[in-house]
Structures are given as C-alpha cells and as structure tokens.
Amino acid sequence: MPSPLRRLLVPLLVSLLTNVLLLAAVPSSPASAAIEDYASYQPQTRCSPSAKPGTVALGRWLVKKYGGSYGGVSRSCGGGTSEHAEGRAFDWTLDARRKVDRRVARAFLRDVRAADGKGREDAKARRMGIMYLIWDDRMYAAWNGFEPEPYLSSSCRKRAKCSTTLRHRDHLHVSLTRKGGRGATSWYAGRVAG
C-alpha cells in the first residue's frame, strides 16, 4: 500500500476500531444498565393533581399487559396527604374477591419484584420509580424492600369496619416517586417523550 494512502487509512481504521470498542462497552439492554436505588418516601408537598406523564404511561402499560381498568389519578387537594394530589399515584381497578384479579395482581407483583439479569432484586419496580403499592390489606414499600406488610388506612379504626376501597380490595394503588411520575427513571426510556 502506498505510503500516503496508509497515512490516511491507518488513523481512520484506528478511529473506527475505537468507536466499535466503545459501543461494545455500552450496556446493550436496560437490565444491564445502572439501576435506581430503592425509593424513600416522598409525600405530597403541593397541589398539582393533573396526571403526570410517567403515571399515565405506567397505568396504560399495566392495563395493556395484565388487564383490569385504569381507575384514575387525580384527587382534589386538601383531604390529607396523597400522591394522587400531585398526579403521581393511580388506582388500578382489580377486585380481590375475584380469583382472576388476584392472579393478575400476583403476576404483576412477581414481575416487578423479580431480580434482573445481574441479580438486583425488585428491578422493575425500582426502574419504574414505584414508591409503594397497596393491595388487599397489604402495603409493599420500596424503603422496606417491597416486603408485604399489613395495611390499615388511617381512616379506619378496625379492618372489619373499613370499606373495600379503603382496604384496597377493589383496586391496587400505585404511588410513584417524583421522577417516576415525570417518567424520568430508566424504565420510561422511549415510553415518555422528553
């Protein structure tokens, strides 16, 4: 190969090889990418009840993937602290009295709590920005590793006198972090514009 041509091609080949090696080092799937930490509690601090884009995207994805109904996001402000009042919580309509709905809820909980390819527990829940879930008298909080704990609404003195809704037996409640509500965690890449 003539010397002037070699002087042109060698730097180009080195550059091309470098770029190929750099691309190979980039994670090829979300499962191998960095993952969010377990969320801490981020209570409502302002009134902004319009549904946030991440909240809507996750709610629609759940209904499409598992069934049930999208029970809504917004609640009026002033009735106590609620992520609904910040547009980052929604109710997924399932009925704990129906076997098929219990099976759907269990499948979802298994899916979001499963370890990823690197053995990181609760991977999908962490990537989605789930702060906590409430379903059928149990709460699954990120700050406790999503381990189920007995749940009783502060509006109820005793479980037996508590309504089906306050016991979260007619819906599965999903509360998201602020980043999850905005769709700014790793799970939302390509699902939420911006």
pLDDT of residue 4: 58
pLDDT of residue 25: 38
Maximum CA extent, the chain: 90
pTM of the complete model beyond 0.75:
yes
pLDDT of residue 130: 98
pLDDT of residue 24: 40
pLDDT of residue 3: 59
pLDDT of residue 178: 97
> What secondary structure, in 3-state letters, does 30-60 show?
HHHCCCCCCCCCCCCCCCCCCCCHHHHHHHH
What residues contact 15, with CB distance under 8 A and at least 6 apart? Answer: none
Give the number of other CB atoms < 10 A from CB of residue 142. Answer: 22
pLDDT of residue 194: 60
| End-to-end CA gap in the chain | 49
Q: Kindly list the averaged pLDDT for each block of 10 residues, start to end, along the chain of length 194.
A: 53 42 40 85 91 95 94 76 91 96 97 97 98 97 97 87 88 96 95 76
Quote the CA–CA distance of 152 and 138 in Å, as a whole number: 8
Exposed, middle or buried by CB within 10 Å (0-12, 13-18, 19+), for 143? exposed
pLDDT of residue 154: 87
pLDDT of residue 18: 40
**Do 185 and 129 form a contact (C-beta atoms < 8 A)?**
yes
